[in-house]
């Protein structure tokens, strides 16, 4: 089994972005809203801040209590929408229970929706761009390949279908696992640690692991890498696969937003 080195690809992308910022003498600025103290979410924000600062993007953080009301978050987004110094707005997901993710995300201006969540967004989802880049990095002939994605979101599934022609299934039902054996390229974004085993995939499949869970301070993906290693041809690992690529494409979107 070959490993898709997301870190290496992301490094090249970020180096190009750093040069672009320096050449154009711009000061892109990303506002990140974090509600609550989800350990994984806090880690992701730290990573985004570190990466952004390393290439010249300023990160403005808004850390809010898990008890923050929906209208308070929306008021902050409205203020950021009207701040010309802010190029992009990111609401770190998942939000605490009781808050409507859809309602809150819809308040972000389409000019600043650098996560590409809105249906009319000017930006492609960094996560989907990362998936596409990881598949492309294999160098495999993708013609007539059957792409199946296991996802938790209908909106995300439809975007994958539009971008990659992937057939998607929501959740981890028995139907979903029957379909995994049909996939030439299997994408997972479930957040169910190690749920995909070797007996659930076909020989020489390309595995793109987009699931992230944190167990005992260890980051784990949806795919049991050890269990599939003798059967899969390629794997984007967790960590080190889609994560670095997603952050790199997020930063690229922030720079593009600076031009609008």
What confidence tens digit (pLDDT) does each residue in 28-43 have?
999 999 999 888 788 8
Does position 63 have pLDDT exceeding 90, yes or no?
Answer: yes
Q: Is the pLDDT of residue 156 over 80?
A: yes
Which CATH number among 3.40.50.620, 3.40.50.300, 3.40.50.720, 2.30.30.240 corresponds to the domain 126-243? 3.40.50.720
Judged against a pLDDT cut of 80, whether residue 223 lies above it is answered with yes
User: Going by CATH, does the domain composed of 26-109 fall within 3.40.50.10860?
Assistant: yes
Higher pLDDT, 38 or 19: 19
- The yes-or-no verdict on residue 174 having pLDDT over 80 is no
pLDDT at 153: 79
Instruction: Look at residue 238 and tell me whether its pLDDT is greater than 80.
Output: yes
Average pLDDT over residues 222-227: 95
pLDDT at res. 80: 98
The C-alpha atoms of residue 1 and residue 91 are separated, in whole angstroms, by 36
Beta bridge partners of 32: 61, 90
Whole-number percent of the chain with pLDDT over 70: 100
* Alpha helices in the chain, H assignment, sequence order: 6-24, 39-55, 70-81, 101-105, 126-137, 154-164, 174-180, 225-228, 242-258
Confidence (pLDDT) at 41: 84
pLDDT at 214 over 80: no
Confidence (pTM):
0.93
CA distance 154 to 107: 20
pLDDT recorded at residue 169 = 86
Question: What is the arrangement of strands in the sheet containing 29-35, beginning at the earlier edge strand?
Answer: 58-64, 29-35, 88-91
pLDDT at 103 over 80: yes
Domain boundaries, the chain: 26-109, 126-243
The average pLDDT across 93-108 equals 92
Give the C-alpha separation, 138 to 201, whole Å.
Answer: 18
Which range among 30-44, 91-105, 244-258 has the greatest average pLDDT? 244-258
Burial (CB < 10 A; 0-12, 13-18, 19+), residue 138, is middle
| 26-109 and 126-243 share one fold | yes
């Amino acid at each position: 089994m070959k490993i898709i080195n997301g870190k290496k690809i992301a490094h090249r992308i970020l180096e190009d972005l750093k040069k672009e910022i320096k050449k154009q003498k711009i000061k892109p600025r990303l506002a990140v809203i974090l509600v609550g103290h989800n350990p994984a979410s806090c880690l992701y924000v730290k990573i985004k801040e570190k990466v952004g600062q390393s290439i010249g993007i300023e990160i403005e953080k808004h850390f809010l209590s898990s008890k923050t009301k929906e209208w308070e978050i929306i008021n902050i987004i409205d203020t950021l929408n009207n701040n010309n110094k802010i190029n992009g707005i990111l609401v770190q997901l998942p939000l605490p229970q009781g808050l409507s993710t859809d309602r809150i995300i819809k308040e972000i201006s389409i000019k600043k929706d650098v996560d590409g969540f809105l249906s009319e967004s000017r930006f492609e989802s960094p996560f989907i761009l990362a998936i596409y880049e990881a598949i492309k990095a294999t160098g495999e002939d993708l013609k007539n390949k059957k792409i199946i994605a296991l996802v938790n979101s209908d909106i995300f599934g439809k975007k994958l279908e539009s971008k990659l022609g992937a057939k998607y299934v929501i959740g981890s039902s028995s139907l979903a696992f029957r379909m995994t054996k049909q996939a030439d390229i299997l994408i997972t974004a479930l957040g169910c640690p190690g749920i995909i085993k070797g007996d659930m995939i076909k020989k020489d499949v390309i595995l793109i692991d987009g699931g992230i869970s944190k167990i005992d301070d260890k980051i784990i993906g949806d795919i049991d890498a050890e269990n599939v290693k003798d059967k899969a041809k390629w794997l984007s690992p967790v960590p080190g696969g889609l994560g670095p690529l997603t952050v790199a494409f997020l930063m690229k979107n922030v720079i593009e937003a600076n031009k609008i």
